[in-house]
């Protein structure tokens, strides 16, 4: 683990700040976790830090499509935090069934290590937000999950099928993911369905 530069600032809780810095330096590692999908322009694979940033921007831009009363600030917080566990657990490809079987255990173990690097109050908050996203029981979590599922679909469409074509994904398999989008947002669910219909017409799915 990278240690922060020593802090001895006057009027600052140095122990607290050093814990915060230790966490921030640790999560810098998310920048080197590569996902399966390409950037929209197809130039290279996306990393998980880029993914998280883009999802947070999606949430703020698409806020009007969230269910009434949804706390977009909390949605944004979820999307910034939700993939931090991939530092240890790696990115799990959504259509890799074998890897998916161990995903929850791997990610929970990572959460147990990474979030406690923060001061206790911030660690508790981060863990609660992460658990909420995983449980998908609130409108915020469902909307966050909808955005998380829509994002790679857009990249795949712009890359003429992308991982769908490369890994032989069928329309039926991807439509299961569209259900998660519709649970979080009627508007985004309708858009995702139209996107998949168009991708099907273009021959992006395995038969």
pLDDT at 8: 66
Q: What is the mean pLDDT of residues 63-81?
A: 98
> Measured between alpha carbons, how far is 157 from 177 in angstroms, rounded to an integer?
15
DSSP 38: E
- The H or E element spanning position 31 is none
Q: What are the C-alpha distances in Å from 102 to residues 58, 69, 98, 105, 195?
A: 29, 35, 7, 6, 30
Domain architecture of the chain: domains with CATH: 14-201 (1.10.3210.10)
pLDDT attached to residue 163: 95
Identify the weakest region by mean pLDDT among 13-22, 76-85, 93-102, 168-177: 93-102
Q: Look at 10 and 159; give whichever has higher pLDDT.
A: 159
Predicted TM-score (pTM) of the model is 0.93
Whether residue 73 has pLDDT greater than 70 = yes
Give the tens place of pLDDT for each residue, 113-146.
Answer: 999 999 999 999 999 999 999 999 999 999 999 9
Q: How confident is residue 97, by pLDDT bands cut at 50, 70 and 90?
A: confident
Question: Quick check: 111 and 23 in contact, CB under 8 A?
Answer: no
Note whether 90 and 112 are within 8 A (CB). no
């Amino acid at each position: 683990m990278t240690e922060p530069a020593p802090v001895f600032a006057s009027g600052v809780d140095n122990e607290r700040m050093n814990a915060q810095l230790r966490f921030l330096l640790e999560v810098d590692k998310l920048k080197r976790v590569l996902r399966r999908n390409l950037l929209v322009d197809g130039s290279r694979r996306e990393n998980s830090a880029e993914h998280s940033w883009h999802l947070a921007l999606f949430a703020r831009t698409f806020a009007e499509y969230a269910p009434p009363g949804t706390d977009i600030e909390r949605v944004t917080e979820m999307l910034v935090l939700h993939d931090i566990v991939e530092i240890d657990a790696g990115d799990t490809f959504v259509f890799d069934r074998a890897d998916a079987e161990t995903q929850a255990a791997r990610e929970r173990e990572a959460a147990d290590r990474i979030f406690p690097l923060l001061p206790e109050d911030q660690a508790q908050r981060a863990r609660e937000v992460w658990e909420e996203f995983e449980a998908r029981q609130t409108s915020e979590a469902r909307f966050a999950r909808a955005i998380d599922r829509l994002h790679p679909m857009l990249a795949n469409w712009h890359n003429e099928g992308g991982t769908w074509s490369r890994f032989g994904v069928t329309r039926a398999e991807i439509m299961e993911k569209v259900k998660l989008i519709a649970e979080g947002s009627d508007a985004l669910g309708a858009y995702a369905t139209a996107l998949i219909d168009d991708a099907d017409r273009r021959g992006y799915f395995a038969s």
